[in-house]
Structure formats: C-alpha cells, structure tokens
Amino acid sequence: MKRIPLVPQDEQKLSDIRKAMFTHLPGIVLGDLNPLNELLAKVFSYADYHNLRAEMKVGVLPDKSLSRSEILLAVARGLEQAVDGLKLPAAFRKAKASKLHLLRVDRLTREYRQEQELRAYRDSNPGSEKSIPDSIWTRNRNALDYRAALRTLGAPDYSLTIDKAGRVLVHEQLLELYGALVEAKDFTPPNGDMDLFIHEQILPGSWAPLRELLVEGLAVPNHRVIPLYDDAGKYIGRVIQHVVHEGVIPRLLYTDDEVVEAQVLLLTGREIHSGTSRNRELLSMFNPRFDKPVFTIRPGTQFLKSVPTHETTYQVSAGELVLLPGLNGGIIEYSTGRNHFMYWTVDGERVVSSALLGRYSEFGYGYVMTKPWLSKADLPLLYPNYIPEEKSQVRMTADPSLVLPAEVEQVQAEAERDLAKAASLAKVRVESAAYKGVLISRLEKVFDAEVVERLAGEAFDMRYRADPDGVVVAPESTQDELDARRQDEEPLYAAHVLELIDKFSALEAFGQACLRLALVNLYGNPDDIFVDELEEFEVLAQVVCISASPTPEQALSIPLNMEAAWIAVDRWLEGSVEHQALPSLAQEISDCERQLYAQAKRLKQVKLSIELEERLRKEAYMKGYAFVDGPLA
C-alpha cells in the first residue's frame, strides 16, 4: 500500500487520529497543529497536508479487500520514516493505538467484515459463547505457524517477558508485526533475508521500556489498581490488589506516576516504596498509628481516571464506599508556618505467597489480605462452643505466614466433613421419627391448616410475580412471560401433588398448596420432580419448615436442598430450637453450606494461582528474566 486512501468522511476523524498517534512520541509537541498536520500527511505518504486534503476531497476507496495488517504496516513505516529514532516495532505499536479503525478504509478490511458477521450472529443468538476476539491475529489461521517461526528465531515462549533492565516484550504485538511483514506484498527487508531481518532488527527492537507500555495501558498480570478513601469519602491514594486472592500490597500510591512506578517495581520483582521521597522521609521521622479504617468504592463505580499531582483531589459520597477489611490507615500531620500537611499511609498484617517466592525475587514483603479465610469462629452452627485464641495487636512488620496457610485447608476439610456428618445423622433421625409417626404427631400440634394453606398459596403466587418487591424465579422476566410460565407449570405441579398424595396418603392432611410449595422448594422446576424417588420424611421436613414461616417470602426462600431442612427439623425434634425458629435456622445452615462451597472454589483458584506464579518466577529466574507470564503452547 503506497499511501493511506482517504475520503471526505474521514476529515472529521483526523483530529482524533492525530492526537492518538503523536501523544507520548519523543520530540513531538502537541500544541502547534500545523507541524502535526504536516507530519500526519508524511506518515500517510502524502506530499504535504494541502495535498492530503485535496486528495481526500475527491478520494475514492479501493475496490479490493484489504487487511488491517496492511494498513497498520503502511502507517508504521510512515511513522518510522517521519519520526527520528522511532524503530519499526515501536512505530507499529503506535499505529495500532492511533484509532485507524475510524477511517472509512477500515470497512473494506476482512477483519471488519468478520466482526460484522460475528456481531450479527451474537445478536441473533443471545447468550452465545461466540464473541469477537480483541486481537486481529487470534483469528488468523497462520498464527500457530508464525509463533513457531518466531520461537525458532529466538523469541521468548511467553505472552509477556520482562528483562532485568526493565524492558518488556509483548508476544502478541510481535506476532502481529511478524504476520504483517511476511504477508506484505510490497515489503522487502533491507538485506533481502526476512529471517535475518526479524532476528537482528525486529526482535531486538520489540523490547520496549516497561514504563512506556504501562503508560500506554499494559495490564499487570493478576493485579489491579483500586482507589482508597477515608471515612468521609476523600481520596487518599491507590493500592495494587491481587485479583485472585484479593490481597493488597500495603504501599499507598497517590499520583499516576507513582502507580506506574509501583507496577514497574512489582513486575521486576523489587520492593515498592510508597508515595514521594518526601513522604518516605516523613515516615522515617514519624511512627504513625495505624488505627484508621480505609475504604474503596463499590464495584461498577467510576474512578477518577487521572491523578497527575498531589494537589489533585476529589470526593465520593459515603454511599459509594465499601470498607476494606484488614488494611489500616495511618496519618502523619505536621505544620510549617501557616501550612498544614497531612499524609496518609497504610499497612496491616502481611502475608506472602510462599517462602519460595523470596528465593527468586526481592518481592517478599507480601500482601495484606482483605478477604479473610473462614475459621471455626465463623461457623457457629458447626462449632457453637469454639473459643478462638486471643490474637495480639496487628503487627506492622512482615509476617512469615502465607496467603494460603495450611490450616485453611484443614478447617475447610474438617467443616465439610462435620457438616456432611451432621446432615447424615439428622437424616437418619428424621427418617426414623417419620417412620414411627413421631414427626407427623409433632407437626400436627403446631400445624394450622388454614394459615399454612393461605401462606403457601401466596408464596406460590409470588414465584410468578414481576413486582420488584416480590420473589421471582427469573427477575428479568416480564409479567406476561411469568403468566405464561405459570400457565404451563401449574398443571404439572398439581399432577405431581396428586401423585405424591397417592404415594403417601398421610400427607393429604397438610393441604395441596403446602405440598406444592414443598415440591417447589425441593426441586425448583416441575420438570425436575420425580415423585417416585421421594421419601415421605423428605417432604415432611419441608412441610415443617414451611409451617413455621411467618411470611410468604420466607416460606418461598426455604433452601433448595434437603440437608438444611433435615438438620433444622432434627434440632426441633430434639427440643433445642422452637418451631418458629426453623426457617432462620434452615437459612443459617444453607448459608454455612454456601460459605464452604464458595471457599472451596476460592481455595482451588488461589492454590493454582500461587503454584503458577511460583513456577513462572522460578522460570524467569533460571532464564535470566525479571518476569514472565502466559507460557505459549
């Protein structure tokens, strides 16, 4: 492609492209538009800006299909020639960030056409897993061959590689440039040997300063930056948080530059200092008391995009704040004449990913956990008599404990075992009580047929109510959709209830509405109900809990599992809880199950994350790199 084809519709887009293209380029001053316009014309291979505008007014797009790589490579080569000292890999990366998709010529590309097809498919197939890839090369059938070729030429086998000098190589960027070069019809390497050109010029030139790429938006693997606030909603700084175990690195960062510097230190395995050098000097002079709570904002709340200086500040409403447990704030205050200064800093009880991590980097000061692991004290249902050990005051020095201590897995395994044992014993006792007639006898003494039938009927109605205050199966459904669903499902429930009464005649005394709700709470959908597999005591346990519910909402929220009802009813039978306390007890049991299930899932994720991080840190160390991520297949 000799030059970028332009048409009149492109004129209003050029200012956005010009700004994106020339921001952060060395030696380029953004204030004066005339030199920038001339430079843009040169990059697009026009004689000057006057020539570009004249050609654009009468411009006609080519009638052939293009690829984005052709356009990107043409602009990159133009940038390389127009900007002194800019190498082709950096120019290609800059071209990618220059919003060239705004040009009309982009609509002629194969990638644009594929995106439109995928969008149409996704719109006509809601919920489809098929999505539009971010990278133009994830759809390229030659990508695997190109990766193999780059590996042969000496490219690292990782999606992200950082050397000890603080330079980074992003494999996807290298892959795109390589593909553009080998597929280009009008490009010949200077020495005529493409492999030699890639090995000697493109590969070395693809290593870019880490700070530069972070400023451009490079994401730090497994970490995010979150803002912090005091209890009044005033911004006090930012911290880096691990996205898997949610630990926070206790180093307060205020400005954008401080955040980038901290990310550089994190990725290169060095200790992160908090704030400015002046702040560090103050910390050595004063010993702040870490007794202030710190907050972040609720998920989905917009954070101020840029904090350029320490004078930049802003406020959020108290309703947007969420306490960040485990992290504590300390304040240093001092005055110089008429000026009063206040500096925040943060700390907490620190843990590390593992002892192994410190062998392969200096990153050993650790995290402050903001999402604690469950202990027996958090599970009073299983351990009502547990007395936790007294903890000393929070230590402000590095703690040798781990992100995932061994006792967490021990508590998890023990709690799961004890809950399963409690459910098993409760099942045996409730089943025995039902068999002996004791359960029905006790139930009849507290069962008010008229009240329960009305309450169960209202609860069933609520299942099909789109009222925002109601409890519905599918809150996103419209009332018409719920009415149609009820019309389909109600006869099925009625048939199942009759089948149930036919199997267990003693249940008829508790009313069809109550039995119907029991089936709803046991199975959810009528298609999932198999009456022939049900035992009488399983239904009776649900009936006992429903009969104790004070409101339709609570009757409908009885857990969709039998174990919670068994344990609750068993405790009622033994006299340790009153009848009216059964719904809250069943909910407590269900909450306990959910907590253990969620922690089991988190345990697995954190364990895998730590193992991978340790392995990659070790690989980086053994190969002489500072950091690697995303091993390539």
What is residue 158's predicted lDDT score, i.e. its pLDDT? 96
Regions in the chain scoring below 70 on pLDDT = 127-141, 274-287, 354-365, 390-400, 467-476, 558-560, 633
Rounded Cα distance between 378 and 392, Å, is 19
What is residue 275's predicted lDDT score, i.e. its pLDDT? 64
250 three-class SS = strand
What is residue 209's predicted lDDT score, i.e. its pLDDT? 95
Percent of the chain as helix, strand, coil, to the nearest 5: 50, 15, 35
Q: Are 151 and 161 in contact (CB under 8 A)?
A: no
What is residue 141's predicted lDDT score, i.e. its pLDDT? 59
Return the structure tokens found at 134.
């971010």
Rounded Cα distance between 387 and 307, Å, is 46
Helix axes 479-503, 512-523, angle to 10 degrees: 110
Number of residues that this document lists for the chain:
633
**Beta carbons within 8 Å of 249's beta carbon, 6+ residues apart:** 239, 240, 241, 262, 266, 272, 365, 366, 367, 368
Q: What is the mean pLDDT of the chain?
A: 87
In this structure, are strands 321-336 and 223-229 parallel, antiparallel, or unpaired?
A: unpaired
What is residue 359's predicted lDDT score, i.e. its pLDDT? 63
Q: What is the pTM of this model?
A: 0.83
**Beta carbons within 8 Å of 481's beta carbon, 6+ residues apart:** 474
What is residue 425's predicted lDDT score, i.e. its pLDDT? 96
What is residue 524's predicted lDDT score, i.e. its pLDDT? 83
What is residue 281's predicted lDDT score, i.e. its pLDDT? 57
Widest distance between CA atoms in the chain: 99
Q: Are 235 and 178 in contact (CB under 8 A)?
A: no
Return the structure tokens found at 570.
């068993």
Return the structure tokens found at 158.
């990782």
Task: Return the HEC string of 84-110.
Answer: CCCCHHHHHHHHHCCCHHHCHHHHHEH
